[in-house]
Chains A and B, each alone.
Chain A
Amino acid sequence: MTKASWQPGRRDLLKLASAGVLTNASVPWFEALATDAQRQSGRAPKACILLWMDGGPSQQHTFDPKPRGEFGAISTSVPGIHICEHLPQMSQVMDEVALIRSMSTGEGDHYRAKYYLHTGFQRVGGFEHPAIGCIASHENGDPTNDLPSFVTIDAGYDKGNGGRLYRSVPSYLGARHAPLAVRHPDTGLENQPADAGDVELARRLALLARGERRFAQQYATSLVRQKQTAFDRAVSLMRSDAVTAFDVDSESPALRAAYGSHRFGKACLMARRLIERGASFIEIFHRGWDDHEGAAQRVKPRMGWMDPAMATLITDLKSRGLLDRTLIIWMGEFGRGPINGKDHYARAWTTMLAGAGLKTGQVVGRTDEKTRHTGGTVVDRPVSVPDFFATICHALDIDPAKEFHAAGNRPMPIVDPEGAAITELF
């Protein structure tokens, strides 16, 4: 996999920045670092929006309906593909979607599965694997961009089950790849100055810069450079109009209505705005899909906000020419038991992919329809977690075999070498 041509220049800039050269050369605060020239070069790297249904959504009540299932099935814009009857808008964009109906991941404990499906590795004691969002930030993020490359957005909950939320940790990739957390789409980015162009703020920053320059000479360590670089990025962001990406109210009322007034819809709209501005990875999570009482009653009302938001996200990205470079993933940590969706189910479940130039309008893998536990078994093309992660990396132009050095110089590949990308999608 070859890297985009603009990358060497970007890497060089990063090196200069981390060596403190730019900081010292352009104090106060190196806004000049944000080079529009690169953003305009047109070959932007791939981005990703992960729609995380925390708790484990039922596949049979969403994207893998069964003949005797609790919900009916409807035909879609792709002949032969049927999805749940409560996803009418999604049915109209099925040609932009690929369904993987043969996820076979084996981990049925909430937190261990959340970790597994966020990192591509089983959780082990005393070792922390970086999350896919942090990896995408590291590999595809633009360090010259004012925006943080990885943002998480809380899209709310409708009950408290499903256990503790997994939080993305960059581990050995470094703190700058940790996500910026948006607590509520309506709150947006916290702690922005009332007026970033304020003269008093500028005076304070200039005074600070003088002291910082002297300190960096006396303490020429990476710790001080890291602090000054992180600080510079915060100053750049708050002075840049990139912060408006967090404000969804500026969108047209019609588009906002199409995304829907639920937090999830607003979060999807914010994700599109952030991607547009060059962010690499947005994770939106909605909690409460641990439907032990049975999925039917619980899932139906969720479709009311999920269906329009997801379908609008796809069409909106497409109309702006962003869909080809943006991968959308819809998933949870596992699926749910056949028919009623009561239990955790990791043997046979469904994820949805869209965009990123994938061969969409197809279904990968199949679950059975004949047995007593209809849909409980993968009968064609099981997809493991390493396979799934190899596929995501392939779609995002990230080399899954690339190795990092974890603590103790332990070499760690991005994806478990056992994984093989789903070739049908490319």
Chain B
Amino acid sequence: MLSVFSRVAWLWCVVPLILADGLLAADAVEIANRIDVSIDAKLQAENLGAAAAANEAEFLRRIYLDLTGRIPTASQAASYLDSSHSNKRARLIDELLASPQYGEHFGRVWRDWIAPAELPSEGNGGNQPIAATRKLGVWFAEQFNQNEPWDRLVYSVLTVDGELADHPQALFYSLVGTDTGIPQPAGATRAVGTLFLGLQLQCAECHDDPFRTWKQSDFWGAAAFFRNTEATFDGRYFASVTETFGKETSAKGKRSSKKTTRNDRAPNGSITIPSASFTNSGAVIAGKFPAGAALTAEARQPLRPVLAEWIVSPENPYFSRAFVNRMWSYFFVRGIVNPIDDFRPDNPPSHPAVLELLAAEFRASGFDIKHLLRGILHARVYQRANGSDPEADPKQLVKQVESFARYPLKLISTDMLFESLKLALEDPALDLRTVDPALSSKFGESTPIGDAYQEFRRLFETNEDDATDFRHGIPQFLALMNHPRLSGGGKTVERLLKEDLEPTAIIEHLYLGTLSRRPTREEADEAARFVQESAGPRVGYNGLLWMLINRSEFLLIR
């Protein structure tokens, strides 16, 4: 039965989506209204008030950072704030979704979800393939900017066959491999479960999962689909994925590629539990769809396409919900199901109606990502404020955030900080490298850093990924405060001084270009006084810009 639905579903996917528009249940505003009705009903039932709507400046900065990974420039901010268009929020959402920065940003986001950043301390970040990983991010960026439907995009990742140079998505299997850098079926299974299905299969890798219903045979049953996937990777530039089903020889390994070294004698369509496992090593497990039926007749053909069809099918209960929930969590720092990759009966969604509504809409639209995002972003729930008066009960504020009655205050990511500082300082390269060549070595932490982006990540990346937790510590703030390229005001101040502007205009420009708002009267007076008391205008405005990029407000999404 399963194979029937997957076959039909796949046909539906490859047929040009002529039906897509007709299938749309709703436009963005209607979806947004239905989200709000559902969320607000629960708030009312819980007698929990919602925060007021975010003001225009808050909305502006929030949506720029959330959708494009950067703040608006001073002139973009001014033009939005001064616009009297009645529908300017909707127009901005559309404008940003259509900008190339949208795809670039989510390309980086997915790159990091697939291969969480390590601290790139070495030329090549230890064994982390930074350059190759970036290629994967760029590939994702192109897909997102073309608004490639999510099912087709994932199908393309999962069924890739070829080399990194032609198919950047070939890197997927290498990046999600084991710690040793050798791609293995287990790593692919964990990643597919977590990233595309919202299922935490990993505990069952070594034993039956006591907290979930997964048996060890479920994990390895899914891993069996990857057993003929030969992925090679030299850790740097060369990666390839080949389906070896029915082939005698392995992938053409160029250079000193690492490749899978499996001598599994289990019959096709099954896999042997490796010796590293806690229990049952050596047992042969028959292929089985995650949380689904056993693999039957398909065992006589390459297995990855079979699994991929099953995963991206509209009838798969996990695929659409997992994406919707992940994107919801991206905006609200909390999924409707939490952890976001732990869908199971014992872990019910907080707002089932919202999850079902969005998942159904996503499927009906042909897995149209921008359509889904529009629906969420138009909702009042996305456009709520997060500031409060000082007397507010902190516990109540937390509860509001957890119930989507208040937008969470979030720390911007390292990538967002990099892009935003470039704009604020008008320094498109933002090259902070300072390693003394005399102290550099070929290997280790004093290796010359490859490029400006790697250096920035070395200075500001941390291993944590919860945006509501502040990650930066002493080293990051020492860099932000004292690095000569960050404390000198950049080209922004030089340009403004040349333009012969009034001090108030310069101060306003600096606020717009950093905090995406105009200064309050108090701030404007304070800034003017600061500049007047400075050794000269350049010193004064440089100090003002330094102050602005060191503000909490600059580092946060309000």
Q: What size tier do the contact residues of chain A reach?
A: 35 or more
- State whether A167 touches B472 (Cβ < 8 A): no
Q: Give bound CA distance, A109 to B546, whole Å.
A: 47
Given contacts A167-B118, A218-B388, A220-B392, contact A238 B470 (CB under 8 A): no
B409 at the interface (CB under 8 A from A): yes
- State whether A407 touches B470 (Cβ < 8 A): no
B430 at the interface (CB under 8 A from A): no
- State whether B127 touches A163 (Cβ < 8 A): yes
Given contacts A211-B523, A223-B556, A228-B552, contact A181 B477 (CB under 8 A): no
Contact with B along A155-192 (1 / 0, CB 8 A): 01100100111010100001110101101101101111
Given contacts A167-B118, A215-B551, A219-B388, contact A237 B409 (CB under 8 A): no
- State whether B202 touches A126 (Cβ < 8 A): yes
- State whether A167 touches B119 (Cβ < 8 A): yes
Given contacts A165-B126, A167-B119, A234-B478, contact A208 B445 (CB under 8 A): no
A402 at the interface (CB under 8 A from B): no
A217 at the interface (CB under 8 A from B): yes
A125 at the interface (CB under 8 A from B): yes
- State whether B386 touches A219 (Cβ < 8 A): yes
Q: Give bound CA distance, A222 to B476, whole Å.
A: 19
- State whether B180 touches A227 (Cβ < 8 A): no
Given contacts A190-B475, A233-B474, A234-B478, contact A207 B547 (CB under 8 A): yes
Contact with B along A362-380 (1 / 0, CB 8 A): 0000000000000000000
Closest residue of A by beta carbon distance from B200:
A126
Q: Give bound CA distance, A186 to B464, whole Å.
A: 29
Given contacts A163-B180, A228-B552, contact A184 B445 (CB under 8 A): yes
Q: How many A-B residue pairs have CB under 8 A?
A: 190
A contact residues around B435 at 8 Å (CB): 183
Q: Give bound CA distance, A45 to B443, whole Å.
A: 35
Q: Give bound CA distance, A318 to B526, whole Å.
A: 55
- State whether A148 touches B473 (Cβ < 8 A): yes
B contact residues around A228 at 8 Å (CB): 552
- State whether B121 touches A217 (Cβ < 8 A): no
B339 at the interface (CB under 8 A from A): yes
- Name B439's contact: one of A176, A184, A233 (CB within 8 Å): A184
Given contacts A175-B471, A211-B551, A219-B409, contact A204 B445 (CB under 8 A): no
- State whether A181 touches B121 (Cβ < 8 A): yes
Q: Give bound CA distance, A164 to B550, whole Å.
A: 34
Given contacts A187-B446, A207-B526, A223-B469, contact A180 B203 (CB under 8 A): no
- Name A207's contact: one of B202, B205, B530, B556 (CB within 8 Å): B530
Binds A, one of B39-47, B282-290, B479-487: B479-487
Closest residue of A by beta carbon distance from B276:
A109
A27 at the interface (CB under 8 A from B): no
In the complex, which residues 410-448 of chain B have their Cβ closer than 8 Å to any Cβ of chain A?
410-411, 434-436, 439, 441, 443-446
Given contacts A125-B203, A223-B556, A227-B472, contact A193 B481 (CB under 8 A): yes
Other contacts beyond A176-B473, A184-B439: 4, CB < 8 A: A126-B200, A175-B462, A183-B121, A230-B474
28 CB contacts below 8 A, A to B, read A109-B276, A112-B179, A123-B179, A126-B202, A157-B443, A175-B470, A178-B462, A180-B473, A183-B446, A186-B439, A193-B481, A200-B539, A203-B530, A203-B543, A204-B546, A218-B388, A218-B390, A220-B394, A220-B397, A221-B394, A223-B410, A223-B468, A227-B411, A230-B472, A230-B476, A233-B473, A233-B477, A234-B477
